[in-house]
Amino acid sequence: MFDPIAIKSQFPIFKKKTPNGVDLIYLDNAATTQKPQQVIDAITDYYSGYNANVGRGTYWPATKATGAFEATRTKVKDFINANSLKEVIFTSGTTDGINKVVNAYLMPQLKPGDEVIVTEMEHHGNFVPWQQACIKQGASLKMIPLTETGDLDYGAYDDLLNENTQLVAISAISNALGVKNNLEYLTNKAHAVGAKVMVDAAQLVTHEKIDVQAIGCDFLCFSAHKLFGPTGVGVLFGKEELLSEMPPLSFGGGMVKRVTLEGTSFADLPAKHEAGTSNISGVIGLGAAIDFVNSIGIEAIHTHTRALTDYAIEKFSHIEEITIFGNPKDRTSLVSLAVEKAHPHDVSAFLGERGIAIRAGHHCAQPLMDYLQVSGTCRISFGIYNTKEDVDRVVEALIEVRDFFA
Q: Of the two residues 165 and 223, which places its CB atom closer to ligand PLP in the complex?
A: 223
- Between CA 327 and CA 148 the distance in angstroms is 8
Amino acid identity for residue 275 in this structure: A
Q: Omega of the bond prior to 270 within 30 degrees of 0, cis? A: yes
**CA angle in degrees (0–180, nearest 5) for 46-50-54:** 85
In the complex, least distance from residue 212 CB atom to ligand PLP, rounded to whole angstroms: 17
Cβ 356 vs Cβ 278: under 8 Å? no
Q: Of 210 and 322, which CB lies nearer to ligand PLP in the complex structure?
A: 210
When computed from its CA atoms, the radius of gyration of the chain, rounded to whole angstroms, is: 22
Angle of the 298-316 helix axis to the 280-296 helix axis, nearest 10: 80
Which spans of this chain sit near ligand PLP (rule: CB under 6 A)? 30-31, 93-95, 123, 125-126, 171, 175, 200, 202-203, 223
d(C-alpha 6, C-alpha 385), whole Å? 8
CA neighbor of 324 nearest in space, from 246, 204, 315:
315
CB of 12 to ligand PLP, least distance (A): 22
CB of 94 to ligand PLP, least distance (A): 4
Q: What is the 3-state secondary structure (H, E, C) of 118-135?
A: EECCCCHHHCHHHHHHHH
Q: Nearest approach, Cβ of 122 to ligand PLP (angstroms)?
A: 7
**Nearest distance from residue 224's CB to ligand PLP, in Å?**
9
The answer to whether 322 and 316 are in contact (CB under 8 A) is yes
Is residue 134 flagged as an active site residue?
no
DSSP output for 171-236: ESB-TTT-BBP-HHHHHHHHHHTT-EEEEE-TTTTTTS---HHHH--SEEEEEGGGGTS-SS-EEE
For ligand PLP, the closer CB: 187 or 333: 333
**Least distance (Å) from ligand PLP to the CB of residue 18?**
23
By beta-carbon proximity to ligand PLP, the closer residue of 34 and 223 is 223
Identity of the residue, 4 or 93, whose beta carbon is nearer to ligand PLP in the bound complex? 93
For ligand PLP, the closer CB: 144 or 267? 144
Q: In Å, what is the CA distance from 375 to each residue of 192, 302, 350? A: 37, 30, 19
Q: What is the DSSP letter of 79?
A: H
Question: Which residues form the catalytic set?
Answer: 364
